[in-house]
Amino acid sequence: MSDESGFQRFKGTEGYIASPPLIDAVNCAIALERPLLIKGEPGTGKTLLALHVAEGLGMPMESWYIKSTSKAAEGLYLYDTIQRLNDARFGEGDVQDIRRYIKYGPLGRVFAAEKRHVLLIDEVDKADVEFPNDLLRELDEMRFTVMETREEVAAKERPLVIITSNNEKELPDAFLRRCVFHFIDFPEPDLMREIVDVHHKNLDATLLDQVLIKFYWLRGQRELRKKPSTSELIDWISALLRSGMSAQQVEAHLPFVGTLLKNEQDTEALGQFDESDSQMPTSWSDLGPRYQQ
Ligand SMILES: Nc1ncnc2c1ncn2[C@@H]1O[C@H](COP(=O)(O)OP(=O)(O)OP(=O)(O)O)[C@@H](O)[C@H]1O
Ligand SMILES: [Mg+2]
């Protein structure tokens, strides 16, 4: 794609491997000034994306980590009445000056900022069902009034909003209508090699091959309750490197399985496989046609 139009504002960064469709989705969100909604398995780089979009565009960033109790209005500001009461009791500061007790939240700070920000709203699906609709209103309006002081804050520039979801809850259609959406597919081996290279530069090629063969084999086991993710693969490689394991040692069995499997049923199933004298795959062709290299 030529870029005379200036559409391709985000091109990726050295520390984050983004597939071409993901780069397109980021650039669509920038061009349309719409929030970018990112879904995908845990550990596929949803949260990290926001950090690298900010880095790639040279923009400051604010993060808002959503909890089950989060309310959209808290993103704008909180009136810290407890602090004010305490100050009144202990005679500290000027309690008449209510502005001292208004604490902006991430949305409020981004709206009030001089510079355009990237705003990460992480794990939007953790909050209750009203949250996304309330958030929409705040994002559409781009301004708010601090009731207690009657001050109005209006955003000078629309922030680039990146919203992540782990699919715990359905998001309302009205919310989806306003977003650009991208699902981060689990990386295929070639992309995964690039991701690993970001974290473990110049890894021995035979070791990397063995590691990836075992990793994709493990992920292909139907009975697994929780498949290991990209971040767990990176951790596993760190453990292998620190302990000085060779490719041959990884060929024969899976050391440090606790970095990859996170519940006892999965660990037990692997133990039984080991005892059953079945062969672990040692080459890509052992994984079947999907992984023919
Ligand atoms: N595309 C990528 N490029 C570089 N590193 C990556 C990439 N994807 C994942 N990683 C690695 O995986 C780790 C986890 O990424 P991140 O926390 O962004 O995942 P997530 O999708 O937000 O997971 P969760 O749903 O559990 O919050 C990162 O810290 C990084 O080490
Ligand atoms: Mg995350």
Average per-residue pLDDT for the chain: 92
Question: What mean pLDDT comes out for the span 136-152?
Answer: 92
Residue of 22, 124, 231 to mutate, ligand 1, most atoms within 8 A of C-beta: 231
87: pLDDT strictly greater than 90: no
pTM over 0.85: yes
CB 92 within 8 A of CB 85: no
- Atom 11 of ligand 1, residue of closest alpha carbon: 231
Centroid of ligand 1 to alpha carbon of 196 (angstroms): 11
Give the chain's count of helices (H) and strands (E). 12, 9
pLDDT band at 263 (very low <50, low <70, confident <90, very high): very high
Residue 293's pLDDT is what?
63
Q: Which residues pair with 127 in a beta bridge?
A: none
Ligand at minimal distance from the CA of 197 is: 1
Ligand 2: centre distance to CA 44 (Å): 8
Local confidence band at 3 (pLDDT 50, 70, 90 cut-offs): low
| Coil, strand or helix at 159 | coil
pLDDT of residue 275: 81
Determine the residue type at 74: E
Question: CA 42, CA 16: separation in Å to the nearest integer?
Answer: 16
The mean pLDDT of 25-37, rounded to a whole number, is 96
pLDDT confidence of 210, banded at 50, 70, 90?
Answer: very high
Q: Whose CA is nearest to atom 26 of ligand 1?
A: 42
pLDDT at residue 53 in the model: 97
Mean pLDDT over 9-37 rounds to 95
Residue nearest to atom 8 of ligand 1 (CA): 45
2 has pLDDT over 60: no
Q: Which long-range contacts (CB under 8 A, 24 or more apart) does 74-77 make?
A: 74/105, 75/105, 75/106, 75/107, 75/108, 75/121, 75/135, 75/138, 76/104, 76/105, 76/107, 76/108, 76/111, 76/138, 76/144, 77/102, 77/103, 77/104, 77/105, 77/108, 77/144, 77/146
Domain ranges of the chain: 20-184, 189-288
Instruction: Give the number of the atom of ligand 1 that is nearest the alpha carbon of residue 15.
Output: 4
pLDDT of residue 104: 96
Does the pLDDT of residue 277 top 80, yes or no? no
Separation between Cα atoms, residue 130 and residue 275, nearest integer Å? 51
Model pLDDT for residues 229-248, shown as the tens digit of each residue: 999 999 999 999 999 999 99
pLDDT at position 177 is: 93
What pLDDT sits at residue 94? 82
* Mutate-to-test residue for ligand 1 from 26, 48, 63, highest number of ligand atoms within 8 A of CB: 48
Q: Which ligand is nearest to the CA of 200?
A: 1
What number is the average pLDDT over the span 136-160? 92
- Distance (angstroms) between ligand 1 centre and the Cα of 96 equals 46
Task: Report the candidate in 286, 279, 235 with the shortest Cα–Cα distance to residue 257.
Answer: 235
The CATH code of domain 20-184 reads: 3.40.50.300
